[in-house]
Amino acid sequence: MMELLLENVRNTLSGILANIVREASKVSVHNYAKIAVIIVSSILLGRVALLYSIFPGGIALMTVFLHKGRANIYALPLILGGLFSNYGTGYDIWGDAIAITACGIVFFLIEKMRIGVVVKAFIAAGIMVLAKSIYLLADQFVFIYDIFMIITEAILILALVYIFHRFYSFFDNENKSESTVAEGVIAASAVFVLMLGGIGIEFMGIFSIVYVGALFVTLIIGYKVGIMEGGLSGIASGVMAMLITSASPAIIGIFACAGMTAGFFKGLNRIVTGLCFSAVCIAFGLIKGYPELYISIYDPLLASAIFILIPNTVMGRIELMLAKARKNHIYEELIAKDRMQATLNGYLQTFEKLAILYAGTKNSSNIISMQFKGMAKVTRTMIESLENNETSLLPIKEKYRIKVGVSCYAKEKNISGDSYICSDLTNGDYIIALSDGMGNGESASRESALTVTSLYNLMKAGFDVELALKTINSLLLLKSTEEIFSTVDLCLFNKITGKIKLFKIGAAATFIKRGDKVETIKVSALPMGIVDNIRVNNVELQAKRGDEIIIVSDGITEADRNDSHMEWIRETIENIRSKDPQTMSDLIINKAIERYGLKEKDDMTVITAIVN
């Protein structure tokens, strides 16, 4: 007991320390993630070229960063570094480099002035126009195309400042941004695709990095947020992909339709969603005619494959980020779910340790060990159900029905030593349990009732069959000062799959009638409450409509002890033509009474279940 007390104290202290470390790590992880995103995005957005000639990303990004605070000036060398990484590739980067530097200096100096982000966007666009105009005039060659591209870049700067401002608001410690869901979706999709464009690798084999990434983010947002948001994500991703690759504007419509398709399958089976998403992309891509496709058939297939293969834990993180962007009740629910999973994991570890601690002992301690194992099993099931939040395309329907009839005969004062239960469990399972207590009368009735009631309650709570039976066995051993024991005859029928599982612990034979044939199922085992470690084996069958399952107590099988092969029972079942389970149970009981004759009769129970 002293060791157990010390273990509890140790666990309590470690739990407190773990909570402190967890809370501190959450802050650290958030800050590190924010810094990492700023560094990576500064480089990639600074180097991404739109329309193969302009670099508005760096100018817009510098404007947004310095609008949020002068401390973000450290991003200036990162953005310039990303831009200069294009040196030697044929791009004319010097005009944009001058504009980025000028924006950094101007916005750093006027940071204390209360100027809105919209006004700063126009100032940044003006600085770019001025800087590039001076640069082009100094070069002494100015074409109409150059003027057109300057105007285009100015417009893109205005748009990107708005997009970046919305996107980086998600990383603020106090997220007070009033962005709508649509704005968040557009910002996240556009920035993600632009960062992929900033990598500078247009193709990897037969796959376009930009297209695969744009399709993937569209698919994710549609699947997790909804139809409208999926369409908006497709439009934003399509526009950015078009600007990066100079592709046909038709891809915007293709991406939008594909995003709405993903939203239509929101929360359903991921395989079905991915296949339908790919089908829509490929179908619209083929409209132009092979080989001049609007979009390669390989890119949507790869994006869908990545989407399907993402682990549930990663998908949960993505869903949490999207919910944070939406800032509605779903975010709070997911945060609560995340905390619940962490708490349940703590409980699971505790239950497993306690089960090991009490294992190997006898009597009451062994029961406690079984209980902790059961609690660990239930907790694990709850964690798995929280992790797996997908639903199938169609609700799972029960393909089978089962109709049950029960007939009993009591030997002593109308009190039978047999007890039974027939009831639904979870996930389509139906339980039929019959227990025969030792002897007869009230004592046997109490023991058998304890057995079937405990078995049902444990399985209803989430215990698996083996653990539930072993727990009851330990309970009977604890009470067995007078050698009290019970048999268990358990049938589990799944109304979805039609699977039948028969568990027999010291129980009489079970009979399965299919058509005109009757099969006898016998399993040799000691009753419960005799030995510590019982072996739990089962017989599994696939049911067919019209099958009849007849479960009997030993009072039936021992009605004619001269017939050790129980041929009279088989013949009785074969000769009964009624399809009513109650009629069949009554006829078997009557036949057993007839076989007893003048001999003393035992308690008898017959349960007939017919599968429809």
Q: Which pLDDT score, from 0 to 100, does residue 420 have?
A: 92
Q: Which pLDDT score, from 0 to 100, does residue 394 have?
A: 46
| Lowest model confidence (mean pLDDT) among 46-60, 96-110, 165-179, 300-314 | 165-179
**pLDDT(16) > 50:** no
Section 548-564 average pLDDT: 87
**pLDDT(514) > 80:** yes
| DSSP codes of every residue in 458-501 | HHHHT--HHHHHHHHHHHHHHHGGG---EEEEEEEEETTT-EEE
As a whole number of angstroms, the distance between CA 405 and CA 402 comes to 10
**pLDDT(561) > 90:** no
Section 383-406 average pLDDT: 70
* Structure-model confidence comparison of residues 176 and 426, the more confident one: 426
Confidence of residue 392 (pLDDT cuts 50, 70, 90): very low
As a whole number of angstroms, the distance between CA 380 and CA 247 comes to 50
Section 42-70 average pLDDT: 90
Q: Which pLDDT score, from 0 to 100, does residue 12 have?
A: 46
Q: Which pLDDT score, from 0 to 100, does residue 383 have?
A: 63
Tens digit of pLDDT for each residue in 317-343? 777 666 665 555 554 555 556 666 667
Peptide linkage before 291 cis (omega within 30 of 0): yes
Residue 297 contacts residue 254 (beta carbons within 8 Å): no
**Range with the largest mean pLDDT of 23-32, 264-273, 375-384, 593-602:** 264-273
pTM: 0.60
**Range with the largest mean pLDDT of 167-181, 374-388, 485-499:** 485-499
Section 290-313 average pLDDT: 84
**pLDDT(9) > 70:** no
Tens digit of pLDDT for each residue in 428-480? 899 999 998 876 677 788 888 888 888 888 888 777 888 888 877 777 777 65
Q: Which pLDDT score, from 0 to 100, does residue 86 have?
A: 83
Section 107-114 average pLDDT: 86
As a whole number of angstroms, the distance between CA 522 and CA 557 comes to 12
Q: Which pLDDT score, from 0 to 100, does residue 8 have?
A: 47
Q: Which pLDDT score, from 0 to 100, does residue 13 have?
A: 44
Q: Which pLDDT score, from 0 to 100, does residue 529 have?
A: 76
Across the chain, mean pLDDT equals 81
Tens digit of pLDDT for each residue in 569-604? 999 999 999 999 999 999 999 998 888 887 778 888
Q: Which pLDDT score, from 0 to 100, does residue 5 have?
A: 39
E strand or H helix at 519: strand 517-521
**pLDDT(215) > 50:** yes
As a whole number of angstroms, the distance between CA 491 and CA 434 comes to 9
Structure tokens at 340: 């619940």
Section 205-213 average pLDDT: 92
Given the structure tokens 């169609």, which residue do they identify? 394
How many contiguous H segments (helices) and E segments (strands) does the chain have? 20, 12
Section 144-172 average pLDDT: 88
